[in-house]
Structure 1
Amino acid sequence: MRHRLNRGGSRTANNVLWTIAMVRMRSGPRTRAYVERRMGECLSTKEIHRFLKRYIASELYPLILADLEESVRVP
């Protein structure tokens, strides 16, 4: 059984990551190909979902930081 590394993290942010991953798994062609490949490696759907959430978070984090910097610069 795996647990989140940071149990004090934002539940809302975790829910958003979960939703994005689910939508991508159902409708994104690149993500569907990734899921098929990982299932061929005998990984469970939960594990694949966890990997996707981590990847999505690493994609979104720089965008969030850039948005924060932009909001600080605007008077």
Structure 2
Amino acid sequence: MSTSSPVAVVVTLAESHRGRLAEVAASLEAAGLKVARRLTTLGQITGSVQRDRLADLRQVTGVADVEQSGDEYRAL
């Protein structure tokens, strides 16, 4: 179990994988992403992931970029 804090991210798919958004989303979930939205037209997926799993998302086939959206989730 991860002890780092979750961060909100926007994942942009590579042009070659935009038609395979569902497949890439499943791979991202396996890498730790909690998918919030699938933005098919933009070729992007938003969600949250533990900070120490960001590198895992970047290694998923079909991912062009992973950006932190600036939102940080904190326990109350």
TM value normalised by structure 1: 0.30
Larger relative helix fraction: 1
Larger relative strand fraction: 2
TM value normalised by structure 2: 0.29
